[in-house]
Structure 1
Amino acid sequence: MTAFATAQGAAERATWVWELRSVNGRGRDVKLRLPEDIDGLEARVREAVNARITRGNVSIGLRLTRDAGEGALAVDPARLDAVLDALDAVQERAFDKGVTLGQPTAADVLAQRGVLIATQAESADLAEPLFADFQTALTALLTMREGEGQRLHAVLTQQVNEIEALTVRAADMARARPDAVKAQMTAALARVMEDATGVDPDRVAQELALIAVKSDITEEIDRLRAHVQAARELLANGGPCGRKLDFLTQEFNREANTLCSKAQDVDLTGVGLALKAVIDQMREQVQNVE
């Protein structure tokens, strides 16, 4: 489901803004963009999201701005060494290629990710208020997702109603078919037997019986009714049901395809095509359901 939420806060020497986005997805994919120096924050954020969201692509970003103050920032020696070694390797490679590069300034080096870090005391002080504001943003995101879910519930319920109504129409047509099919087959048999010489009547009867069985849509009607009941139960029970509904729309479509192939009747084929159209619309909407 699509949703967006923000939350912002401030501490003695820092301000921050959380941004949370959610879009449709077949599974759950959580992407985080968080400062690396806040111990444990990423794990807590990911755990909180996984506990409350089961489907969708979720992007979470934290913009943290620290005021320059005494003891607020420190240099990570290991990271600094790695950056300097990388710069030295670039300079040597450029020299070998005959390329002259300008010397990086101290500001260029400090701008590299991870060189400047917050002191442990400051990071520890920020962890709790940051996570508290994240939970506020997550709740707002879930509220927006739930609002969309309620709207989708109404849409899906209407589509299930349409499928049920079309299934009833198909069943009514199926009940009216035997007499018409019998008359058609009797007339066809009479025409065949007039010109048939040495045809085994038992063999003809077997072929006619096979045709009658292949055109029977009773099983398809029964399964469509069962799928309608299953869809209603999923929608009524609440909770995550997107994947189950996705599977159910595939089963709906399978039965509608079989019904169309067995129809041998313009009106019944029209009902089957209408079923396929509604099922396809439902399948598109189900992709938005958690």
Structure 2
Amino acid sequence: MAEAVHRPGLDPQGYIEREGSLGRVGHEFRPVVAAARGRLLDVFGARLDSAYLYGSIPRGTARVARSDLDLLVALCTEPGAADREAVRVVGEALDDEFPQIDGVGVLLYGRARLLSDLETYDLGWFVACLCTPLLGEDLAEHLPRYRPDSLLARETNGDLAVLLPRWRERVSGAKDSEEARRSLVRFMSRHLVRTAFTLVMPRWNGWTSDLREMAEAFAAYYPQRAEQLRAAAGYGYEPSGDPVALRSYVDDLGPWLAEEYARVHGVKTPRPE
């Protein structure tokens, strides 16, 4: 019997290891993280259950003036419109103040939703494996450990078919703006590469957040689509406002990937509107 291949991102028991840590935050980004911590406490106070970093900054791969600051905030109760406006203002202020980041994204949820059965293999997994604790209680203590299996694949990225109509609307709305198209290329490239990777993740049997490594893992199983994924991975790091890329995402690669994903893993459990 052939020896099993040891893939990255897994512990010796085959569970996905949590990526990132505060210790990996680069020197240039530490003032940004400190400011984010303080402002979230100022805004939410006792209503703040926990807050997390995710993305390239806690992974130690962020690039000065090129990478964004990604935060996830959990409130003790379900957030309302005023809470969403508050985090928008915080994000804009941080982006304006710190030139070493290129944008701020904040995900905002209530504790109950993050720990719900419905979100165990989506948002729960995201918190437990891809988020680095910044403030408050670590909700990972209440969540299971995760393997790179078909259930996880389905519940994380099995909704591409639902997303595509909205993507087409956004592409149409951005046709006259180079900057808007560039933002969409970056967003859609990353989403499609991650979806393509989780399509093959159970067979590859590992985890990575590196877009180029994701594309290569996918290419081993779908060589006919390999160059498309490699190009998308490149755009995920160095986007352009190429309208041809956007049309190919919503008219070719996206529909194919959605159909193949449903065939292999099924469709994500519907969420309430």
TM-score (norm 2): 0.21
Structure with a larger share of its residues in strand: 1
- Give the structure, 1 or 2, with the largest relative contact order (CA under 8 Å, sep 6 or more): 1
Structure number having the greater helix percentage: 1
